[in-house]
Chain A
Amino acid sequence: MELVSTSDVCEYPVATMKPSEAAQFESLLQQHGGIIRKVAFGYARNESDRKDLMQDILLQLWKAYPRYSPDGPFSTWMYRIALNVPISYLRKHTRPGRETVQVDESQHDIAPEQSSPPEMEERLTMLRQVIGKCPPLDRALLLLYLDDRSYREIASVLGLTETNVATKLSRLKERLRRELTDYANN
């Protein structure tokens, strides 16, 4: 799957990379491009916002890549940038404690011919609601949890200790179960 080609990236008016670095960057992007999509889904309200957000994340990745050290996993580095971009935006433009984003169902970007069976649709609606209710920092934790990332990686992305991540996740799961119960009852 094509994420973005080097020739397009090179047109960005930011720091230049050597051709070998650019090729390496493109290859890593193609391997881990799913992270951008997942984060964009988690933080954007509709398709248009999602495209803007993906664009912003790509630009920040490109700008930061010359400082990337291969000592750590690329996915961790990518998650940090991909999550920092929307969290910073939300925190700047909304009041603390009110950064929840309700996904606009009417502008949801799944084409009709690609829609899922009703049971899956129900799950998807539930997922959108749960994600939309989370404040930005908790949402980062939730996305990493849903993506089956290890405690170590979550801790490294967020800048917390593994013990703290474990405690936070346990509380988050507790809260999610309550929300799912409410959702099922309603």
Chain B
Amino acid sequence: MPTTDLDDLKIAWKELNRQVERQNALTLRQIKENKLGRFRSGLRPLVLGQTLQLILGAVITVVSADFWVSHLNQVHLLIAGLFLQAYAILFIAFAVRDLMLIRRIDYSAPIVAIQKQLAELRAWHIRAAIWYGMAGSVVWLPVLIIILHLLGADMWMQEPRAVWWLLASAFVCLAFNYGLVLLARSPGRCGRVLAGSWIGRSVNRAQAALNEIEEFERELA
């Protein structure tokens, strides 16, 4: 008949350790055989992703700077180059911040502190993804202008009306995305629907993780 004594749990815990210890030699031999082949580092993909982002950002910064410097007399190309460079610098800044946050994580620090840092990193990452998306709804236009220019076609000179239309649609797209973000934060029905979307769920999960850690950390009366 099982009892409700907490000491029973401690007895079971000791017995379990004894049993696991007996099998430990075998387990460790297997670990040695496996080496790091199956090692999964939770942050490794993020570090790799941010490093690639940093490299890509640096390449775009150099290319766009070279582009606008060589087109100082053509205002539309100068603006397109500057805009793209600003986006690339934002790209680099976000990657550097991510890498710095990852570097700061020291697993030998107290658990609550580390878990909070990790949760903040994830929350920041998701917020940054939303802002990337917003900027991305406009940045394609300067990219298009630059690519066409490099291919020998000057959109602004040849089809200025098309550029205005594209610019207007880029801003409509930006406003639409911003509206979605605002709606997702609203308490109404639309807000609930959007909060249930993939990005909404990610934001909510990140926030919930932070709340959970803060709740655990809170001094209880």
List residues of chain A with CB under 8 Å of any chain B CB: 1-5, 8, 11-13, 33-34, 37-38, 41, 47, 50-52, 54-56, 58-60, 64, 67-68, 77, 80-81, 83-85, 87-89, 91-92, 95-97, 109-111, 114, 116, 120, 122-124, 126-127, 130, 135, 137-138, 140, 146-148, 156-161, 163-164, 167-168, 171, 173, 176-177, 180-181, 183-184
Q: Which of B75-114 contact A (CB under 8 A)?
A: 106-114
25 contacts between A and B (CB under 8 A): A3-B24, A4-B32, A8-B35, A41-B16, A51-B30, A51-B31, A67-B106, A80-B107, A84-B115, A88-B42, A91-B118, A92-B118, A97-B208, A120-B15, A124-B12, A148-B10, A156-B110, A160-B110, A164-B219, A167-B221, A171-B220, A176-B6, A180-B5, A181-B4, A183-B4
A-B contact count (CB 8 A): 189
* Besides A123-B12, A135-B212, A180-B2, 7 new A-B residue pairs in contact (Cβ under 8 A), listed by A number: A12-B36, A47-B27, A80-B111, A88-B115, A146-B9, A158-B112, A177-B4
Known pairs A4-B28, A12-B36; A184 contacts B112 (CB<8 A): no
Tell me the smallest distance from the CB of B28 to a CB of chain A, in Å.
6
A138 to B217, CA, bound (A): 11
List residues of chain B with CB under 8 Å of any chain A CB: 1-6, 8-13, 15-17, 19-25, 27-28, 30-32, 34-36, 38-42, 106-115, 118-119, 122, 205, 208-209, 211-213, 216-217, 219-221
